[in-house]
Chain A
Amino acid sequence: MKNRIISSLFYIITGFFIAVGPSEIFKVCNSVNMKGPCQYTKQAELGIGILIIAIGIISFLIKDKKVRLGLGIAQGLNAVLVLAFPLWLTGLCKMKTMACHVKTLPSLIVLSVILLIISVVNGLYLLKEE
Chain B
Amino acid sequence: MFKQNVFRKVKIDVLHNKFSIVIVVIFAFLIFSGSVINNSLRNGINNMEKRLGADIIIVPAGSKENAENMLLEGQRSTFYFDRKVFDTISKFEGVSEVTEQCFLKSMSADCCSSEVSIVFYDPDKDFILAPWIGNINQKKDTESKKIIVGYNVDVSKELGIMLFGKKYEIAGQMAKTGTSLDDSVYFSFDEMKDVCKRAEEKGAFLTDIQKKENIISSVYINIKDGYKVTDIVRQCHNELEEDFDTVFPKELTKALSKSYINILKLINIILFTGGTFLMLILALVNIISMNQRKREIALYRINGNSVRRVSFRILSEIILVNIIGAFVGCGIGILVIIPFGNYIGTLFDMPYLGPDFIGIIILTIKAIAIITLLGVVASCNPIYKVCKIEPYLALRKEGE
By a beta-carbon cutoff of 8 Å, the part of chain A in contact with chain B is 29, 31, 33-38, 92-98, 101-103, 105-106, 109-110, 113
Contacts and interface: CB of A to CB of B under 8 A. Distances in A.
Most buried by B among A36, A95, A105, A106: A95
18 contacts: A31-B112, A34-B111, A34-B112, A36-B112, A94-B111, A94-B113, A94-B114, A94-B154, A95-B114, A96-B152, A96-B342, A97-B182, A106-B339, A106-B340, A109-B335, A109-B339, A110-B335, A110-B339
A39 B114 CA distance: 15
A97 B180 CA distance: 7
A93 B116 CA distance: 13
A92 B109 CA distance: 15
Contacts of B116: 95
A95 B112 CA distance: 10
Contacts of B183: 95, 97
B92 interface: no
B153 interface: yes
Contacts of A31: 112-113
B114 A102 contact: no
Interface in B198-239: none
B342 A95 contact: no
A110 B332 CA distance: 9
Q: What does DSSP make chain A's interface, helix, strand, loop or mixed? A: loop
A94 B339 contact: no
Nearest first, the 6 A-B pairs at minimum CB distance are: A93-B113, A106-B339, A34-B112, A94-B114, A94-B154, A36-B113
Contact of A103 (B113, B114, B153, B343): B343
Interface string B330-349: 00000110011011001000
Contacts of B115: 95
Given A95-B154, A97-B182, A37 B113 contact: yes
Contacts of A29: 113
A97 B342 contact: yes
Nearest to B176: A96
Contact of B343 (A36, A93, A106): A106
A33 B112 contact: yes
Given A96-B154, A97-B182, 5 more contacts: A36-B112, A95-B113, A95-B115, A95-B154, A103-B343
A98 B182 CA distance: 12
A107 to B, nearest CB: 8
A58 to B, nearest CB: 28
B182 A36 contact: no
Contacts of A37: 113
A103 B339 CA distance: 9
A105 B338 CA distance: 12
Interface string B166-180: 000000000000001
Contacts of B154: 94-96
Nearest to B179: A97
